[in-house]
Amino acid sequence: MTGISVIIRCKNEEKALGRCLATIFTQQTDVSFEVIVVDSGSTDHTLTIAREYPVRLFEIPPESFSFGFALNHGIERADGAIIVNISAHCIPVHNTWLSEITGPVREGRADAVYGRQVPVKGVNPFEEVSLDRHFPGTEKSGGRVAFSNANCSFLRKMWEVVRFDEALPSWEDFLWYLLLKDRYRFHYCPEAAVYHSHPFSVDSVTRRSYNDGRAFRMMKEKYDIDLIGKDYPTILAKGRLFMEDVKNHMSFFVHNGYASRIFLTPVVRLLAFKAYRDGYKSVKQKPL
């Protein structure tokens, strides 16, 4: 088993998949690689676009989709000793991205690498706040986002030790990091950058937050990993977290030309926090 396998998960990505694949197949690299596309029920032109490129295409039923399942399905069929995960709507910033995202792994300096995610200016200012914080243009250490399947590479043997949890609705990559971080070396590479933005809507904000709440509660119940209770054990602490979050958004908007969004901030963030709480409470607590 040699080379690199690039795994792309997608559904209804006709607007981005062609640009993603075109950029991947024009990468400057001397390492052989294959591209595997895992589609979960596209009803637009996504499959037609995928077939225009030399990819291995696999389709899974939409009802079976989870981020973990789609990735496990693709990796099971991969030939590479190094796995690269990239979302279909992530577009590599430059044609050395593949070399950058896999370089530390190929050179033995790391076992897993995750790269920078650059927001497309103006598409979603609320998402820009998060990406600016968690994926800076310089080296970083610590922080809640310590790995991301949207733009990463890792040794396949790591996945053979721990597969991605297929039950989680989100954060399957962070859980994977937590389960492996004491045995393998994880590295952040800001040079391995991709453009990554989701259009803003209240529905998308609340849906993502709800799934995040479910994921965090599931990690607590299944793996005894209590991320929220450990860092914010009281109602007062959670309230301070909310106020700090609103403050950080407002400050970012003022300094980045989004002053008109300031008045929306408390409402949007309150809806996100409420959806997170609802998702967290929707998961049954395991019996004592």
Q: Which domain CATH number covers 44?
A: 3.90.550.10
Q: Please check whether residues 39 and 110 belong to one and the same domain.
A: yes
- Is 267 domain-assigned? yes
Q: How far apart are CA 172 and CA 215, in angstroms?
A: 8
Q: Please check whether residues 24 and 84 belong to one and the same domain.
A: yes
- Is 287 domain-assigned? no
Q: Please check whether residues 174 and 239 belong to one and the same domain.
A: no
Q: Is 52 helix (H, G, I), strand (E, B) or coil?
A: coil
- Is 29 domain-assigned? yes
pTM (predicted TM-score): 0.94
Q: Please check whether residues 14 and 150 belong to one and the same domain.
A: yes
Residue 170 per-residue DSSP state: S
Q: How many domains does the chain have?
A: 2
Domain end, chosen from 125, 160, 195, is at 195
Strands in the chain per DSSP E: 4-10, 33-39, 56-59, 82-87, 91-92, 112-118, 151-155, 186-195
Written as one letter, the residue type at 137 is G
Q: Please check whether residues 137 and 41 belong to one and the same domain.
A: yes
Per-residue pLDDT 10s for the chain (288 aa) are 569 999 999 999 999 999 999 999 999 998 899 999 999 999 999 999 999 999 999 999 999 999 999 999 999 999 999 999 999 999 999 999 999 999 999 999 999 999 999 999 999 999 999 999 999 998 876 566 789 999 999 999 999 999 999 999 999 999 999 999 999 999 999 999 999 999 999 999 999 999 999 999 999 999 999 987 777 768 888 888 899 999 999 999 999 999 999 999 999 999 999 999 999 999 988 765
Domain end, chosen from 195, 223, 246, is at 195
- Is 229 domain-assigned? yes
Q: Please check whether residues 130 and 270 belong to one and the same domain.
A: no
The domain of 220 spans: 202-281
